[in-house]
Structure 1
Amino acid sequence: MISTFLEALTRANLALAATIVAVLLLRQPVRRRFGPLAAYALWLAAPLCALVSLLPVHAPTTVMAPAVEFAATAARTVAPAAAKAPALPLLLLILWAAGALAALALLALRQARFVRAVGALTPLDGEPAVLRGQHVDAGPLVLGALRPRIVVPADFEARFTGEARVLVLAHEAVHLRRGDAAINGLVVALQCLCWFNPLVHLGARALRVDQEIACDAAVIERHPHARRLYAETLLSTVLTAKTAPLGCHWPAAGPHPLKERLTMLNAASLTPLRRKAGLALVALVASAGAGAVWAANPAPAVEPAVITRPDWAQKPDGNDLARYYPADAAAAKAGGRAMITCTVAVTGDLENCRVLRQSEGPYAFGEAALQLSQIFRMQPKTLDGQPTAGGEVTIPIVFSVPQ
């Protein structure tokens, strides 16, 4: 179970890493040709490919064949062998869980510090849906993920007046309409689950930049005459190092994202047809990526036919039992059980046998059952007429003390 989980986690991170690299290479060319919204939508391919990599693989089922008993006396209850998880997979699982909890605690601490720094929130005059913080460096932004709200700094009315105020609030309203706060919440969850993957953190930062640029483009599309004022408003905003993990910030922290946003404002507007073509291209790229991940998933193992009604041409008898009975168990007059599973060869002999479980105790009933498997021989067809070659049979064997 632990190995299966770690394998799925590895596949998901490989799919995420490959998709993030592809998006990082494509985002700027796509933005130039098809607009910021198409570049922002490209990031949907990353979680899609990760989910496709986790699609379950059908596991074969094992049906038990009738028990082969050598004596009429009852034996002790079969106890499944203790399953011990390998030390390395268990250690890796503990390390991953500890890292995920540490990442979650760190991001939660950053969010709590930001909220505490914002101070008490009060409705903005004339805008009851907008909340004003106590300090001047808190916002404008959309704060939260489950119940996002627009938060502005204490000096918002003095810093942003007239149409500039309308543009800033329109920008934050686009975040709310598009569900960007919820998307950022999913990004934070991925950063916690994939804390060891540097490409996930790099992609999260680039996604935030594309998110802001897509909002800028949406505002400019509705206010085409205010392109210059919008750029001046961005430049007049104080950059702050304090950011909330669960928040859409105006502007994104750092001068480089601001430069990218200003560059976009100088770009010519695209026609609606070009924008639609960009979204279609994004859907095609995401589908192709998901298909490639699906093709790379491990193929299900070919299931052997499970034989439930074997027609035995030869089975062990009492003499065979006495010959292979564990000597120490015979001396202690101890009985037991063992269950083996084997593949049926073309000749009807059993091969590739292994012990599924055996009775608890010091006696090697499993090894004795494997020795007895050499005596079994099956007819070419089962009692219900099915071919046996290549099939799989599971045989519970009851060991009673030989007389």
Structure 2
Amino acid sequence: MTELLASLLLASVWLAIAAFLLAAMRPVLRRLGGAALVYRSWWLLPMVLLAPLLPLPPLPLADSAPVLALGAALRAPVLPDDAVLWPTVLAALWVAGAILAVVVQWRGQRRFERGMGTLQPRSDGSWQASADPGLPALVGLWSPRVVVGPDFDLRFSEAERSLILQHEFQHRRHGDQWANALLAVLRCLFWFHPLLPWVSRRFLCDQELACDARTLDTHPASRRLYANALLKAQLVHPVAPMACHWRSQPMLKERIAMMKEHKRKALPWVTGQVVVVGLCMGLGAVAWASQGSAGGSPTISAEAFSQDDAASAGLERPVTIDNMPPPSYPRSAFENGQTGKVVLQVDVDAQGKATDVRVLSATNPGVFDAVSVAAARQWTYRPAMKDGKAVASAVRIPVNFAMDETVTE
């Protein structure tokens, strides 16, 4: 439970860092590559959220001073041993909030889809609804459909209808419905985050601006007509969390202002993509490396000691271990800087197989026990020898979990 809360807290911090960085870089990226480049920069968000979940091998980056300082600053606080209730209460509160967010978004999406009424296919590849809860829009996830309202043909001219449909088809071509679904997941997981409302609004705004820019790139002479179609449609606010709405009243001025801007070519298209990829990969790498920088690199040692036991039992050779891959360091213990020692007793049969693994003693009981037992079951053993034959025996193995070469006795 504590590990879950610590991971959620760490992800929340990286979400805030990514949001601030995107806000700072947005004007620069817009000058370099326009609205489409700004929209692609949002890949930074899943990069920094998923990077700390990946396993971290020993890397020079993880031992660098800036990353060590950052990892120490982001390390989750260690709860006292008697604070058993608080992790449970906080986890229950987070689960309740996440479930509530799921219900609210699901009901909003269902209300919107039901509000469209019956759908009829059109010759232009779109679908016409019998009611208008906020159309045109791209609706659906697995099989998205462009849906227009019942008065679509009456409200817009033929040229305007063509531009609107191309806009919505651009959403479908670039998979924007999946991006909105991912945003809905983030709203559920991070419902408590104070920056999430801004992230949601800004992301959807950049999505529409990028789609406008892509549509106008193929029709540069239709900017006035496109703006006129926007003015006709600005009547309602978007109400479906996973639909790509043509109507987006809160950002009408920004969309029209974007169309008035001249397309700047300060850098070639490829260079703009390199800037975004470098931004995402750079911060993602720092997030990845910082997960292991709270207390330096862990060292795990394991050494069998059974010579005295072998002599007293009349064994010619005690149980030996050929291959001992070290157990993994528990993430919560590593982030909290915990060390410990586990003494195992492994029963080995005459064929060299571990038949039973028991914990004889452990410092910080329950922290390192499970990973130690799991590792011991995977080790390769040689059976003990007595009178020239392999016999069943046992071996005691201390496993030390330490930070920066410090071993807990």
State the alpha-carbon separation in 2 of the partners of residues 224 and 25 from structure 1. 29
Deviations 1:90-120 (A, max 9, x none): 1111111111000000111111111122211
Match of 1:159 among 151, 155, 160: 155
Closer, same or farther: CA 136–272 of 1 in aligned 2, 3 Å:
farther
State the alpha-carbon separation in 2 of the partners of residues 216 and 355 from structure 1. 58
Indicate the residue corresponding to 2:363 in structure 1. 354
Indicate the residue corresponding to 2:302 in structure 1. 306
Match of 2:126 among 126, 130, 135: 130
* CA deviation after TM superposition for structure 1 residue 205, in Å: 1.3
DSSP 3-state at the match of 1:243? coil
Amino acid at match of 2:363: R
* CA deviation after TM superposition for structure 1 residue 355, in Å: 7.0
Conserved? CA contact 2:22–2:41, under 8 Å = yes
Indicate the residue corresponding to 1:101 in structure 2. 99
Indicate the residue corresponding to 1:223 in structure 2. 219
Conserved? CA contact 2:112–2:133, under 8 Å = no
**1:50 aligned to 2:49?**
yes
Percent identity among equivalent residues? 31
Closer, same or farther: CA 169–383 of 1 in aligned 2, 3 Å:
closer
Gaps of 5+ in 1: 59-82, 314-339, 343-351, 358-381, 395-403
* CA deviation after TM superposition for structure 1 residue 146, in Å: 2.5
Match of 2:257 among 244, 257, 263: 263
**1:291 aligned to 2:285?**
yes
Closer, same or farther: CA 393–225 of 1 in aligned 2, 3 Å:
closer
State the alpha-carbon separation in 2 of the partners of residues 246 and 276 from structure 1. 31
Indicate the residue corresponding to 1:208 in structure 2. 204
State the alpha-carbon separation in 1 of the partners of residues 218 and 364 from structure 2. 71
Amino acid at match of 1:266: K
Larger mean CA deviation between 233-242 and 177-186 belongs to 233-242
**1:20 aligned to 2:19?**
yes
Q: How does 1:242-391 map to 2 (within 5 A)?
A: 242-254=238-250, 257-271=251-265, 274-299=268-293, 301-310=297-306, 341=342, 354=363, 356=365
State the alpha-carbon separation in 1 of the partners of residues 113 and 271 from structure 2. 41
DSSP 3-state at the match of 1:132? strand
State the alpha-carbon separation in 2 of the partners of residues 282 and 270 from structure 1. 17
**TM-score, length-scaled by structure 1:** 0.68
* CA deviation after TM superposition for structure 1 residue 356, in Å: 4.0
Indicate the residue corresponding to 1:6 in structure 2. 5
* CA deviation after TM superposition for structure 1 residue 53, in Å: 1.9
Closer, same or farther: CA 153–293 of 1 in aligned 2, 3 Å:
same
Closer, same or farther: CA 45–393 of 1 in aligned 2, 3 Å:
closer
Amino acid at match of 1:14: V
Amino acid at match of 1:32: R
State the alpha-carbon separation in 1 of the partners of residues 406 and 188 from structure 2. 45
* CA deviation after TM superposition for structure 1 residue 84, in Å: 11
* CA deviation after TM superposition for structure 1 residue 55, in Å: 2.3
Indicate the residue corresponding to 1:118 in structure 2. 116
Closer, same or farther: CA 57–3 of 1 in aligned 2, 3 Å:
farther
Match of 1:235 among 231, 236, 248: 231
Larger mean CA deviation between 171-180 and 133-142 belongs to 133-142
Conserved? CA contact 1:20–1:199, under 8 Å = yes
State the alpha-carbon separation in 1 of the partners of residues 14 and 149 from structure 2. 40
Closer, same or farther: CA 3–242 of 1 in aligned 2, 3 Å:
same
* CA deviation after TM superposition for structure 1 residue 271, in Å: 4.6
State the alpha-carbon separation in 1 of the partners of residues 175 and 362 from structure 2. 56
Alignment length (residue pairs): 302
Conserved? CA contact 2:116–2:130, under 8 Å = yes
Amino acid at match of 2:225: L
Larger mean CA deviation between 165-174 and 236-245 belongs to 236-245
* CA deviation after TM superposition for structure 1 residue 260, in Å: 1.0
Match of 2:84 among 86, 90, 93: 86
Amino acid at match of 2:137: L
* CA deviation after TM superposition for structure 1 residue 42, in Å: 0.7
Conserved? CA contact 1:35–1:278, under 8 Å = no
Match of 1:174 among 165, 170, 174: 170
Conserved? CA contact 1:20–1:203, under 8 Å = yes
Amino acid at match of 2:145: R
Gaps of 5+ in 2: 58-80, 310-340, 344-360, 367-394
Conserved? CA contact 1:208–1:252, under 8 Å = no
* CA deviation after TM superposition for structure 1 residue 198, in Å: 2.2
DSSP 3-state at the match of 1:122? strand
Conserved? CA contact 1:341–1:392, under 8 Å = no
State the alpha-carbon separation in 1 of the partners of residues 282 and 11 from structure 2. 17
Closer, same or farther: CA 230–383 of 1 in aligned 2, 3 Å:
closer
Closer, same or farther: CA 147–253 of 1 in aligned 2, 3 Å:
farther
State the alpha-carbon separation in 1 of the partners of residues 262 and 85 from structure 2. 59
Closer, same or farther: CA 57–309 of 1 in aligned 2, 3 Å:
farther
State the alpha-carbon separation in 2 of the partners of residues 142 and 284 from structure 1. 31
Conserved? CA contact 2:134–2:247, under 8 Å = no
DSSP 3-state at the match of 1:261? helix
* CA deviation after TM superposition for structure 1 residue 232, in Å: 1.1
Conserved? CA contact 2:32–2:265, under 8 Å = no
RCO higher in 1 or 2 (8 Å CA, sep ≥ 6)? 1
* CA deviation after TM superposition for structure 1 residue 276, in Å: 2.5
State the alpha-carbon separation in 1 of the partners of residues 241 and 210 from structure 2. 19
Deviations 1:326-354 (A, max 9, x none): xxxxxxxxxxxxxx847xxxxxxxxx973
Closer, same or farther: CA 135–249 of 1 in aligned 2, 3 Å:
same
**TM-score, length-scaled by structure 2:** 0.67
Deviations 1:166-221 (A, max 9, x none): 10000001000000001100110111011111212311111111001101111111
